[in-house]
Amino acid sequence: MKRPRRLDRLPEQYFMGLLARVQEAAARGGEPLVDLGRGNPDVPPPPHVIEALVASAREQTALVHGYAPFSGLPELRRSLARRYATLYGVELDPDREVAIVPGTKSALAELILCLAEQGDTVLLPDPYYPDYPSGIALAGADLGLLTLDPERGYAPRFDLAPRERVAAVFLNYPSNPTAAVVRDGAFADAVAYARETGATIIHDFAYGDLVFDGREPRSFLAEPGAREVGVELFSMSKSYGMAGWRLGFVAGNAELVERMATLQDHLRAGIFAAVQRAGIAALDGPQDTVAERVRLYERRRDRILAAVGEFAAPCEGTFYLWIRLPDGLTPERLLEEHRLVVAPGEGFGPSGAGSARLSVATPDNLIDLGLERLAAALAG
């Protein structure tokens, strides 16, 4: 069979490659591995969300078990709009400015298919989430880099960015992997750059609610002019522990939301209604579990910083820490010699070389064991 070139353009899927190396190391025997590399929430969804899913799934009706509306349940879009108004100070039109997607990972690629052609450039922040390049490869576009300045809290350097044929720019605050929150003026700079170049801003807000030390979440869409030039991706995975449920949103620019709806009409036939109803329960119900989740991750962050603080970048949000490894200590050595899994920084872009990402979305006993091994490695 002739193989389409778009598949050959795809990079190695970073996390599948990491998992394969971990499985190989585990198969060789020895002390059990401690995995601090994967960002897989270890705290389940709130009980009332699970109950909403179960109750809906038990209904013997076509409204639940038949095809859901391709564009999703209108009441779910309204729930997200209420959340944005209440928590982020953003008024959204739920019918025109909200698209429901089966998790934001797929939307990362689909948005680029809605924006870019061959010869266009899509800018990624450096360092970036490893799944961002996939949509660029499928579209046949060119990958460019937007410098993040670690001396300025990983603020984007739009003054260094190209000005021609830039179709889209990804931003991600709080940042995976750097754990930095957005700096004052960064969103305004993004809007100004988009207006100057015609580029679309895509803000990945997956960790939006996971901010520490008394900070408040900051949505890109709250910036004046943001909806004219971009969209924001909101995920149910991180705030509510619903990673495996695959439910998320694209919100903001009405034209791009409409393009996403058109593309999805051709790709899928809706999302299971029971999952959408559970999403409504999460968005409209008590939010105390979100705050509890933040406090848990913050406590775990503090323990890791106490052990590796001199090597770590400031951790202001998400459930990650970004650490600089000393010369001679590599993720491969940590895996082979100390049975400790971290996410190698090279997979997050050129500036990630020599760094690694640690996850606090890991049970406390494994964090303690992992820190023992990491401390021994650093001491050596």
Which SS3 state, helix, strand or coil, does residue 141 take? coil
What gap in Å lies between CA 292 and CA 271, rounded to an integer? Answer: 28
What gap in Å lies between CA 157 and CA 152, rounded to an integer? Answer: 10
Q: What angle do CA 236, 87, 361 make, to 5 degrees?
A: 40
pLDDT at 214: 97
pLDDT in tens, 189-208: 999 999 999 999 999 999 99
The answer to whether 164 touches 143, Cβ cutoff 8 Å, is: no
pLDDT in tens, 98-149: 999 999 999 999 999 999 999 999 999 999 999 999 999 999 999 999 999 9
Provide CB contacts within 8 A for 95, sequence distance 6+.
74, 77
What gap in Å lies between CA 284 and CA 262, rounded to an integer? Answer: 28
| CA proximity to 245, closest of 60, 81, 45 | 45
Q: Which two tokens stand for residue 219?
A: 């949505």
Beta strands in 66-198 (DSSP E): 98-101, 121-126, 142-149, 155-156, 166-172
**Residue given tokens 């209440």 in the structure block:** 86
Provide CB contacts within 8 A for 373, sequence distance 6+.
34, 334, 338, 339, 340
Q: For the whole model, what pTM was predicted?
A: 0.96
Name the amino acid, one letter, at 302.
Answer: D
Q: Is the peptide bond before 133 cis (omega within 30 degrees of 0)?
A: no
What gap in Å lies between CA 359 and CA 243, rounded to an integer? Answer: 15
C-alpha R_g of the chain? 21
pLDDT at 213: 97
pLDDT at 18: 84
pLDDT at 63: 87
pLDDT at 219: 98
Between the alpha carbon of residue 221 and those of residues 6, 144, 213, 372, the distances in Å are 33, 24, 23, 42
Element (H, E) at 76: helix 74-83
pLDDT beneath 50: ranges in the chain: none
pLDDT at 352: 97
Provide CB contacts within 8 A for 324, sequence distance 6+.
311, 312, 313, 354, 355
